[in-house]
Amino acid sequence: MASRKPLIAGNWKMFKTCPEAETTSRQLVERVGDVSSVDIMIAPPFTALAVVSKAIEGSSMELGAQNLYWEKEGAFTGEVSAPMIASAGCRYVIIGHSERRQFFGETDAGVNKKIQAAFEASLIPVVCVGETEPERDSGKTFSVLDKQIQEGLKDLNLNTSNPPVIAYEPVWAIGTGKTAQPEQAQEAHAYIRKLISQGFGDELASAIRILYGGSVKPGNIAELMALPDIDGALVGGASLKPETFSEIIHYRT
């Protein structure tokens, strides 16, 4: 089995002004220190990318954006393209977060175009998938994952030298304080890896990192990371505070 370097990613959502983002990221750099055993990403709002990029320069942390639009440029008021994000210093971009699907009508077809655009700009897409509570309760978790993975990754030329990252985020666990039981998370992650293997082969399936997201905190990260198919975490609320996010990053110690 390929060894996959864990990725701990923070999604700041629509929080933090530029001065707040600068203070938080400077404090994070101090608290996190030199880390080489895990990759770390923070995704502030677009407006704070420049200040955070400067604050984390030379540190163990890398920058991510929370969304993109698939066209490179044009008359698309309010949108931001993949080359723009890359030029702001981002290495990663979150795509298809459930809040974008839920509140902004994002579809799997749109997610597919965004992933393609991210690759063209040499960004690593962090592709979010996951079922809602009614979908889980009615036994549709796997069929939801089938559709999101198959349509989201449709016709993409994926390879092991630069695989996308998948984030399994059960919608009922995001920002609710409810975390999936370890066995529920492992089952979903193993299922996603099987889908990747069926669609793109075993080599990609064993190289791809699948993050868990949904109320991850210092108290549950170690248990989640001990599971064989969990390769990191996408952290919302707990990434906003340097104390909690750095504790999550240092989950091994």
Give the residue numbers annotated as catalytic, written as ranges: 97, 169
- Kindly write down the DSSP assignment for every residue of 22-57, as one continuous string: HHHHHHHHHHH-S--SSEEEEE--GGGHHHHHHHHT
Shortest CB 72 distance to ligand PEP, Å: 27
Q: Is beta strand 165-168 parallel, antiparallel or unpaired with respect to 124-129?
A: parallel
Q: Quick one: 64 or 213, whose CB is closer to ligand PEP?
A: 213
Helix (H, G, I), strand (E, B) or coil at 1: coil
Q: Quick one: 62 or 169, whose CB is closer to ligand PEP?
A: 169
As a whole number of angstroms, the distance between CA 173 and CA 239 comes to 16
Check if the beta carbon of residue 222 is closer than 8 Å to that of residue 178: no
Q: Which helix (H) or strand (E) holds 167?
A: strand 165-168
As a whole number of angstroms, the distance between CA 21 and CA 95 comes to 21
Q: For residue 182, what are its two tokens?
A: 């370890």
Q: Quick one: 49 or 224, whose CB is closer to ligand PEP?
A: 224
Q: Quick one: 87 or 176, whose CB is closer to ligand PEP?
A: 176
Shortest CB 11 distance to ligand PEP, Å: 4
How many Cα atoms within 13 Å fall on the side-chain side of residue 89?
20
Please give the residue ranges that form the binding site for ligand PEP (CB under 6 A).
11, 13, 169, 174-175, 213-216, 234-238
Residue closest to ligand PEP (Cβ): 236
Shortest CB 130 distance to ligand PEP, Å: 9
Shortest CB 58 distance to ligand PEP, Å: 27
